Chains A and B, each alone.
Chain A
Amino acid sequence: MNWELIFGQIKWTSFVFAGMIENPSLSEAIASGAGSIAVLGALATVVLLTVKGWWVPLWRDWLTSIDHKKVGIMYIAIALVMFARAVIEAALMRAQQLSATDSGGFLSADHFGQLFSTHGTIMIFFVAMPFITGLMNYVMPLQIGARDVSFPLLNAISLMLTMAGAILIMVSLVVGQFSTGGWSAYPPFTGIEFSPGEGVDYWIWAVSLGSIGSTLTGLNFAVTIYKKRCPGMTLFRMPLFTWTTLCTSILMIFAMAPLTAATAMLALDRYAGFHFFTNGDGGNMMNYANLFWLFGHPEVYILILPAFGVWSEVVATFSSKRIYGYTSLVYATMCIAVLSFAVWLHHFFTMGQSANVNAMFGIATMVIGVPTGVKVYDWLLTMVGGRIRFTTPMLFHINFLLTFILGGMTGVLLANPGIDFQVHNTLFLVAHFHNMIIPGVLFGMFAAVQFWFPKMFGFRLHEGLGRASFWCFAPGFLLAFFPLYWLGLMGATRRTYMWTDPDYLPWLALAMAGAALILAGFALMVAQIVVSVRQRAQLAAPLGDPWDGRALEWSIPSPPPEWNFAVLPQVTARDAFYEAKKAGTAYRSPAAYADIEVPRNTATAPLIGLFACAWAFGLVWHIWWLVVVSFVLIWAVVIARSFQTDTEETVPAATVKAANEAFLAAARATPGVSREREMTSDNRGRALPEGLEGRAGPASPGAAVEVLP
């Protein structure tokens, strides 16, 4: 029997623990510790599932489900798990840089390289992307009054491909090493000549799986928004989160392909000796830089636009006021989406273009500040004259406005090629993009979780702990990243694992303190979720509208039934549900109910994900039999599925009616809660609209509303 035929390039020394045995050091101990956490975490999950008997529910209710709501929640769960890993890696890097003035610190250079590579790769592809995708999955169909996305099975397949990529990165903690080439994996360093191991291959296949998943998500969501809006929901009546979802989806359709092409070319270089990005033989790494950033720059707008949508929903809801400048926000979103394709070159001003080319891309970059500025003014003006409640999402929003503007201004500085030549590749840049992504995207997603959690699970999150986590996260961010601007101006280069300049020390210490605060914020957020689950009876808001919401998702119970809307709503204005509450027409019974077709659960998507994961693992380790077998199995599953005819089941009208009438009766019978008492246990999810306090008390059932043919 030939070992290599069966196990490819895996040897016993490939396992992380072997390094500890052969060459004990603190760096290896940390690597082994991380590997142990991954293994023990997986084991603990298996034990927990077995002891609690949750295997069947997990498979039946979650993994095989193609309901957009469950798919969305699973995406967010992936994001949170991966966030835990990547944020700990960030703290480790801060500790290393702090301890490494005139010494080697406690991590080896190679280990440090793996840390910043996995940190970046995970944060972008397996935290930010699944977070926004999960949120769009959950919220967008509810906001447009749809029962699901256009292609529910494709949606589940996207999820499982993303999950396969995430699992692959987790496996790299235990088996083998990860790339040391950073999240952008520039060749020729990541070519086979300089990175001969399996690390870059882990990066290539994990990212490729995520990238294919995102392409499919983008086209699915764009089709959903174009084709599945409920009657009356014209484009300019769509909530702003839906608008940003549309623009992000379009960006995904266009921007993911260059990434797929770039990773495929890098793979061909490494596996088959091609010469796309090699030194010599006609290879040209500049082509990689162009392709990568042709994806990479739209990518940052893929991330930020849904967060902008969240901010628009949050600021309008918690100011009890309709959004200021709706139309300008829509056009600003579209301008940003279009311009995002015209700026990629600012990621490599220093790499040899002529001054005129640099100037053009510099100007295009600065121009993006204009529509973004429009948005900031719109959000500010929404608050003017509003009745502002300083809830956790709103605190995150105000923090966002203050800090995002600072990050935007350092971005305009960097957009000037002359300045970029001075500070490129320093911690100034690191500070800049964290300043955009953390208060913008990450805190946007945190605010979204606080905002939509009661919709997803039927109970609110504990407000006190939410605020506590905010008061760690917000100053923690400032402390962790503002010193980096100074360090960058002092000449500290990024991705450096040791220093010689003692002047850096105080700033690095401040940054370390910030990282500790951020970790505390995350711990409080986890505590908030645990405490809220325990207190779910007091925090329950099953009637669906805890914040006096504006769009259609608040008009249905929490959590929503599988079919979302008992009868497809008819929309006549923006902020459809808010207008209905004001007019007193909310919670009326429809005149008639009809049977609803819902898709059946299917094992198709999880099987594809499993085989895709095995396929990628085989490619990383050159286990060719596994590559062939799993590739054949992926397509066998697809083909088998195409022969299935019985893919839908019918929910009878009587079932829908019973559930919906019970909800409506409860909603009508419950007195509305005023905004002052929003955070008390009085809040069962029936809001008393601002300015209509006189209407307190049970609502009348009113006349039945027209039912659509």
Chain B
Amino acid sequence: MSLSERLHPGLNLAGTDPESHVAAEEVLFGFWIFLMSDLVLFAVLFATYAAMSVQGIAEGPGPAQVFDLTAAFLETLLLLLSSFAFGFAMLEMKYRESRRGVLAWLLVTGVLGAAFVGMELHDYYVMITQHAAPPQASGFLSAYYLLTGTHALHVSSGLVWMAIMAIQVTVIGLNTPVKLRLMRLALFWHMLDVVWIGIFTFVYLFGVAS
């Protein structure tokens, strides 16, 4: 089988770094499967939220009373832009093999991601202090905080991972293991976009419309 037939989904190194490309096959396939199992977890949380947001409101506030669509929209922009920036980091890695370029774009990604987490924490703060809507208030809010909180925890661990990768790019350089780690982090980061778009649609848009 030639290299071109063995491309994997996502960014490939076949054309620029064949040696890393061969090493990537098993590792990236494994990571795709990991992402799939992670998505099963999110699917379960979405299903729980779907049930609880209708039946679990009890005496607490409903979705339309507590969600701030403007903030959620800005968070969406921040997260999607951070993914866009990560794309540039990967292109720098693939075509220029430039440490400085990768680091610069990782910094942009990280700042945007951190801003996303910060805004989300601010949302929680507003909900708890101004709407009396902490997770302990009702089943609906428990499910809401668990779903968005799990996503926020994923983004935060992605940020820690990114910081470590920045150190490795600086200290070790762009060798095969570091490249493969960056590729996996990129897949992870993009998956979080997909999950967030689900959250934005099903939690926020549907919630405000309800």
Q: Do A and B bind each other?
A: yes
Q: Is A223 an interface residue (CB 8 A)?
A: yes
Contact with B33, one of A219, A281, A645 (Cβ below 8 angstroms): A219
Q: In the complex, how many angstroms separate the beta carbon of B91 from the nearest chain A beta carbon?
A: 24
Asked if A257 and B51 make an inter-chain contact with CB atoms under 8 angstroms apart, the answer reads no
Looking at B40-48, B65-73, B98-106, B193-201, the stretch in contact with chain A turns out to be B40-48
**A568 and B172 alpha carbons, distance in the complex (Å):** 33
Asked if A282 and B146 make an inter-chain contact with CB atoms under 8 angstroms apart, the answer reads no
> B37 — which chain A residues lie within 8 A by C-beta?
215, 218-219, 253-254, 256-257
> A559 — which chain B residues lie within 8 A by C-beta?
none
> A1 — which chain B residues lie within 8 A by C-beta?
none
Asked if B138 and A275 make an inter-chain contact with CB atoms under 8 angstroms apart, the answer reads yes
Asked if B56 and A268 make an inter-chain contact with CB atoms under 8 angstroms apart, the answer reads no
Q: In the complex, how many angstroms separate the beta carbon of B156 from the nearest chain A beta carbon?
A: 12
Q: In the complex, how many angstroms separate the beta carbon of B71 from the nearest chain A beta carbon?
A: 23
Q: Is A151 an interface residue (CB 8 A)?
A: yes
Contact with A283, one of B33, B56, B59 (Cβ below 8 angstroms): B56
A223-B29, A265-B146 known; A274-B136 Cβ under 8 A: yes
A275-B136, A282-B55, A284-B51 known; A222-B33 Cβ under 8 A: yes
Q: In the complex, how many angstroms separate the beta carbon of A204 from the nearest chain B beta carbon?
A: 15
Interfacial residues of chain A within 202-245, with CB under 8 A of chain B in the complex? 215, 218-220, 222-223, 226-228
Asked if A268 and B142 make an inter-chain contact with CB atoms under 8 angstroms apart, the answer reads yes
Q: Is B125 an interface residue (CB 8 A)?
A: no
Contact with B136, one of A151, A218, A223, A273 (Cβ below 8 angstroms): A273
With CB as the reference atom, state the residue of chain B lying closest to A262.
B44
**A219 and B26 alpha carbons, distance in the complex (Å):** 12
Contact residues on B (Cβ < 8 Å of other chain), bracket: 35 or more
Q: In the complex, how many angstroms separate the beta carbon of A280 from the nearest chain B beta carbon?
A: 7
> A253 — which chain B residues lie within 8 A by C-beta?
33, 36-37, 40
> B41 — which chain A residues lie within 8 A by C-beta?
257, 260-261
Asked if B44 and A261 make an inter-chain contact with CB atoms under 8 angstroms apart, the answer reads yes
Q: Is B135 an interface residue (CB 8 A)?
A: yes
> A265 — which chain B residues lie within 8 A by C-beta?
48, 142, 146
Q: Is A276 an interface residue (CB 8 A)?
A: yes
> A220 — which chain B residues lie within 8 A by C-beta?
30
**A498 and B135 alpha carbons, distance in the complex (Å):** 41
Asked if B57 and A282 make an inter-chain contact with CB atoms under 8 angstroms apart, the answer reads yes
Asked if B60 and A282 make an inter-chain contact with CB atoms under 8 angstroms apart, the answer reads yes
With CB as the reference atom, state the residue of chain A lying closest to B142.
A274
> A280 — which chain B residues lie within 8 A by C-beta?
58
**A215 and B164 alpha carbons, distance in the complex (Å):** 25
With CB as the reference atom, state the residue of chain B lying closest to A219.
B33
Q: Is A683 an interface residue (CB 8 A)?
A: no
> B136 — which chain A residues lie within 8 A by C-beta?
272-275
Looking at A228, A282, A283, which has the most chain B CB atoms within 10 Å of its CB?
A282
**A256 and B104 alpha carbons, distance in the complex (Å):** 39
A contact residues, total (Cβ < 8 Å): 40
Asked if A223 and B135 make an inter-chain contact with CB atoms under 8 angstroms apart, the answer reads no
Asked if B142 and A276 make an inter-chain contact with CB atoms under 8 angstroms apart, the answer reads yes
**A283 and B48 alpha carbons, distance in the complex (Å):** 11
Asked if B56 and A257 make an inter-chain contact with CB atoms under 8 angstroms apart, the answer reads no
Asked if A261 and B25 make an inter-chain contact with CB atoms under 8 angstroms apart, the answer reads no
Q: In the complex, how many angstroms separate the beta carbon of B206 from the nearest chain A beta carbon?
A: 18
Q: Is A45 an interface residue (CB 8 A)?
A: no
Asked if A282 and B140 make an inter-chain contact with CB atoms under 8 angstroms apart, the answer reads yes
> A215 — which chain B residues lie within 8 A by C-beta?
37
> A572 — which chain B residues lie within 8 A by C-beta?
none
Asked if A227 and B58 make an inter-chain contact with CB atoms under 8 angstroms apart, the answer reads no
Q: Is A680 an interface residue (CB 8 A)?
A: no
Q: Is B76 an interface residue (CB 8 A)?
A: no
Q: In the complex, how many angstroms separate the beta carbon of B142 from the nearest chain A beta carbon?
A: 4
Please encode chain B, from 80 to 91, with 1 for each CB lying within 8 Å of some chain A CB and 0 for all others.
Answer: 000000000000
Asked if B25 and A227 make an inter-chain contact with CB atoms under 8 angstroms apart, the answer reads yes
Q: Is B143 an interface residue (CB 8 A)?
A: yes
Q: Is A643 an interface residue (CB 8 A)?
A: yes
Contact with A261, one of B26, B48, B145, B177 (Cβ below 8 angstroms): B48
Q: Is A639 an interface residue (CB 8 A)?
A: yes
Q: In the complex, how many angstroms separate the beta carbon of A514 from the nearest chain B beta carbon?
A: 39
Interfacial residues of chain A within 241-292, with CB under 8 A of chain B in the complex? 253-254, 256-258, 260-261, 264-265, 268-269, 272-276, 278, 280-284, 287, 291
> B60 — which chain A residues lie within 8 A by C-beta?
281-282
> B139 — which chain A residues lie within 8 A by C-beta?
275-276, 278, 281-284
Q: Is A23 an interface residue (CB 8 A)?
A: no
Please encode chain A, from 157 to 195, with 1 for each CB lying within 8 Å of some chain B CB and 0 for all others.
Answer: 000000000000000000000000000000000000000
**A582 and B177 alpha carbons, distance in the complex (Å):** 45
**A329 and B146 alpha carbons, distance in the complex (Å):** 42
Interfacial residues of chain B within 120-163, with CB under 8 A of chain A in the complex? 135-143, 145-146
A284-B55, A642-B164 known; A268-B146 Cβ under 8 A: yes
Asked if B142 and A642 make an inter-chain contact with CB atoms under 8 angstroms apart, the answer reads no
**A274 and B143 alpha carbons, distance in the complex (Å):** 9
Please encode chain A, from 540 to 570, with 1 for each CB lying within 8 Å of some chain B CB and 0 for all others.
Answer: 0000000000000000000000000000000
Q: Knowing that A227-B29, A274-B145, A284-B52 are A-B contacts, what are 13 other residue pairs whose CB atoms are under 8 Å apart, sorted by A's residue number?
A: A226-B29, A253-B40, A257-B37, A257-B41, A258-B44, A275-B56, A281-B60, A282-B52, A283-B56, A283-B139, A284-B139, A291-B48, A642-B164
**6 A–B pairs (Cβ distance < 8 Å), ordered by A:** A150-B30, A265-B48, A278-B139, A282-B138, A639-B164, A643-B168
